[in-house]
């Protein structure tokens, strides 16, 4: 190094100058990454073992959790959601959207509310499935939270917007009804409807799922909870009311009762993220439909699907929790208004970048 040419005093001065320059550069770098982070939407896909718990934190600092996982297990799912809120830097959850009253979606809510303040719960209206004991039990626990005024309640119907700041939202489905008009930019005739399979009406809470379109800048994100194939058909036939999506939060944990080919091919996501468990969701037929959909770049899975086996699972780097002991790893998506986004596997800490299209 050139320092050999300078006396000791000068060498020290050069080192100090160098350190100062380095620290200026570091500060500038951290400032720019902080400002980039400020504009980003973060979505954390919490592993609740085949239930749903998807946490959105908007650049406006508001939070929306779609579903709260399972009850019991010593509060496992509530613990995992709270850990995700800490990673996201929030100390309360502004809105918890309950897609429907099945136990894997609403069951964990009482344990969650006991651990972290929750502002408002958003739902499709009252539970309609009175024949399934765990669902009825979860519904009663939900009503107790409302009676005790632990949370406020907001019930929404198709076409309504969520009051979350920092993202634009439209309710697509609620309580068995779906939007009756095409979304802006959508409405194209769907030729595949002519030969599409017809499915009988689901008789459970699944078809009542509160489904939401989320727009963030140029990005379109779809979450329909466990909405079933009969309702998917209404959304994309005879014309595609929804249009195409950048990110599809795979319905029903990747189960065959949702994810019909006429629907998945119409919404044609770039990236699909599946909240399956090792033994729940990730049905081979549904997995194949998503994998072969026309614009798909990647499918990410919260778990290796035992049912899928070697032929119907993605490569291990796209799976948060592969075969073996389960550590409850998450997937995290960071999105920017210009349409870029990243997906990070919390197990490997490897991030894949998706440029704007
Ligand atoms: Zn479910």
Distance CA 158, CA 171 (A): 5
CA of 104 to the centre of ligand 1 (A): 5
Distance of CA 248 from the midpoint of ligand 1 (Å): 16
Ligand 1 center–CA 355 separation, angstroms: 31
Digit-by-digit pLDDT tens for the chain (357 residues) are 333 333 444 444 444 444 444 443 433 334 444 455 569 999 999 999 999 999 999 999 999 999 999 999 999 999 999 999 999 999 999 999 999 999 999 999 999 999 999 999 999 999 999 999 999 999 999 999 999 988 999 999 999 999 999 999 999 999 999 999 999 999 999 999 999 999 999 999 999 999 999 999 999 999 999 999 999 999 999 999 999 999 999 999 999 999 999 999 999 999 999 999 999 999 999 999 999 999 999 999 999 999 999 999 999 999 999 998 888 999 999 999 999 999 999 999 999 999 999
Q: Give me the pLDDT at residue 37, please.
A: 55
Cα angle vertex 46, ends 93, 329, to 5°? 140
Instruction: Please give the C-alpha separations between residue 71 and each of 109, 124, 175, 320, in angstroms, as whole numbers.
Output: 8, 20, 23, 22
* Ligand 1 centroid to residue 79 C-alpha, Å: 19
Centroid of ligand 1 to alpha carbon of 252 (angstroms): 5
The stretches of the chain forming alpha helices (DSSP H) are 8-39, 76-87, 103-106, 109-113, 133-147, 229-236, 261-267, 284-291
Q: How far is the CA of 304 from the centre of ligand 1 (A)?
A: 17
Sign of CA dihedral 294, 49, 140, 162: negative
**Centroid of ligand 1 to alpha carbon of 227 (angstroms):** 9
Ligand 1 mean position, distance from CA 35 (Å): 36
At residue 38, the pLDDT reads 61
Residue whose structure tokens are 């509160």: 210
CA distance 350 to 280: 25
Instruction: Dig out the tokens for 257 from the structure.
Output: 């009762």
The CA 30 to ligand 1 mean position distance, Å, reads 40
Q: What are the DSSP calls for 68-89, one per residue?
A: ---S-GGGHHHHHHHHHHHHTT
Tokens linked to 124: 């499709």
Distance in Å, CA 280 to ligand 1 centroid: 9
The whole-angstrom distance between residue 355's C-alpha and the CA centroid of its chain comes to 19
Between the CA of 102 and the centroid of ligand 1 the distance, in Å, is: 7
Residues in CB range of 246: below 8 A, 6 or more apart = 219, 220, 221, 269, 270, 271, 339, 341, 357
State the Cα–Cα distance between residues 41 and 131, nearest whole angstrom: 39
Distance (Å) from CA 11 to ligand 1 centroid:
66
What local confidence, expressed as pLDDT, does residue 36 receive? 53
């Amino acid at each position: 190094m050139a320092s050999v040419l300078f006396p000791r005093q000068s060498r020290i001065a050069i080192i100090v100058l160098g350190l100062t320059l380095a620290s200026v550069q570091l500060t500038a770098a951290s400032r720019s990454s902080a400002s980039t982070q400020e504009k980003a939407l973060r979505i954390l896909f919490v592993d609740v073992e085949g239930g749903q718990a998807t946490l959105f934190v908007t650049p406006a600092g508001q939070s929306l959790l779609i579903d709260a996982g399972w009850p019991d297990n010593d509060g496992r799912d509530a613990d995992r959601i709270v850990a995700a809120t800490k990673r996201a830097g929030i100390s309360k959850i502004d809105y918890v959207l309950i897609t429907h009253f099945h136990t894997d979606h609403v069951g964990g809510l009482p344990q969650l509310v006991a651990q972290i303040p929750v502002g408002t719960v958003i739902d499709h209206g009252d539970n309609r499935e009175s024949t399934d004991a765990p669902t009825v039990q979860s519904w009663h626990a939900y009503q107790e939270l409302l009676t005790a005024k632990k949370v406020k309640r907001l019930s929404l119907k198709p076409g309504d917007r969520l009051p979350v700041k920092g993202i634009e939202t439209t309710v697509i489905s609620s309580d068995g009804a779906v939007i009756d008009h095409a979304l802006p930019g959508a409405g194209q005739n769907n030729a595949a409807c002519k030969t599409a399979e017809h499915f009988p009406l689901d008789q459970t809470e699944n078809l009542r799922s509160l489904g939401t379109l989320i727009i963030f800048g140029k990005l379109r994100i779809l979450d329909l909870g466990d909405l079933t194939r009969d309702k998917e058909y209404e959304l994309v036939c005879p014309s595609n009311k929804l249009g195409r999506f950048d990110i599809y939060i795979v319905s029903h944990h990747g189960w065959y009762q949702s994810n019909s080919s006429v629907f998945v091919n119409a919404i044609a996501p770039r990236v699909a993220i599946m909240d399956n468990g090792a033994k729940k969701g990730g049905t081979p037929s549904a997995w194949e439909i998503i994998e072969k959909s026309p614009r798909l770049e990647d499918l990410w899975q919260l778990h290796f699907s035992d049912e899928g086996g070697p032929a119907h699972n993605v490569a291990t780097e796209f799976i948060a929790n592969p075969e073996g002991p389960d550590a409850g790893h998450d997937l995290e998506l960071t999105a920017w208004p210009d349409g870029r986004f990243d997906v990070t596997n919390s197990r490997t800490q490897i991030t894949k970048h998706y440029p704007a299209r």
